[in-house]
């Protein structure tokens, strides 16, 4: 069975679609390169790889054909980043799409897919409820996530000046990509 091709963007002027795996890989590499001198380059790569994870959802692929609208394609990636205990990556992913949010446990818990389905702050629908489906499509596309030895914010989510500057640098790296 041939795996379907998932796209990141609709056709450009040359009628070429950008494959989602290529897009995520490129953003992951660029984000890692921005932080290659730090102990959390892997978390930056993880943020780049996951920032559009929801585009693996069927609803998003239909959106590219003009059949859907009003979709959140980023929260799934932020939620998966939290599963890896990478709160900075989660906040950067979310911030890349809707602006940086507060750094606290409550705000991060609100990224849970079932909460977003019942009460999305922007009244959007998730592209897929099942993050495992999105992760399996990501893997079937030949994509893998780095192992995280050091997360940017560590186990404590204290918003220090240093941690907030680091987070803003990660957020900026995704903005450049």
pLDDT of residue 98: 72
Question: What are the residue boundaries of the structural domains of the chain, listed by start?
Answer: 7-176
Residue 50: partners with Cβ closer than 8 Å, 6 or more residues away: 24, 77, 78, 80, 81, 89, 93, 145
pLDDT of residue 158: 62
pLDDT of residue 79: 95
Average pLDDT over residues 74-87: 93
Instruction: Tell me if residue 141 falls in helix, strand or coil.
Output: coil
H helices present in the chain, as ranges:
20-34, 41-50, 58-63, 75-83, 87-98, 105-109, 113-118, 131-140, 161-176
C-alpha 40/C-alpha 20 separation (Å) is 24
Residue 175 has pLDDT above 90, yes or no: no
User: Each residue of 108-167: pLDDT tens digit?
Assistant: 888 889 888 888 889 999 999 899 999 999 999 999 999 998 777 766 666 666 777 777
pLDDT of residue 159: 62
User: Each residue of 20-65: pLDDT tens digit?
Assistant: 999 999 999 999 998 888 888 999 999 999 999 999 999 999 999 9
DSSP string, 29-74: HHHHHHTTTSTTHHHHHHHHHHTTGGGGSHHHHHHTTTS--SEE-S
- φ, ψ of residue 118 in degrees (nearest 5): -85, -25
Q: What is the pTM of this model?
A: 0.90
Query: Confidence class of residue 1 from pLDDT cuts 50, 70 and 90?
Result: low
């Amino acid at each position: 069975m041939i795996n379907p091709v998932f796209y990141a963007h609709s056709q450009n002027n040359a009628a070429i679609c950008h494959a989602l795996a290529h897009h995520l890989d490129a953003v992951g590499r660029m984000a890692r390169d921005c932080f290659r001198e730090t102990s959390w380059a892997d978390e930056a790569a993880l943020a780049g790889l996951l920032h559009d994870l929801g585009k693996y959802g069927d609803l998003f692929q239909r959106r590219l054909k003009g059949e859907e609208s009003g979709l959140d394609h980023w929260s799934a990636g932020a939620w998966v980043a939290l599963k890896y205990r990478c709160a900075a990556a989660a906040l950067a992913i979310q911030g890349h799409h809707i602006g940086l949010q507060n750094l606290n446990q409550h705000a991060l818990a609100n990224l849970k897919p079932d909460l977003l389905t019942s009460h999305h702050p922007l009244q959007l629908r998730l592209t897929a409820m099942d993050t495992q489906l999105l992760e399996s499509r990501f893997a079937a596309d030949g994509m893998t996530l780095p192992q995280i030895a050091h997360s940017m914010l560590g186990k404590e989510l204290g918003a220090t000046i240093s941690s907030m500057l680091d987070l803003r640098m990660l957020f900026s790296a995704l903005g450049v990509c």
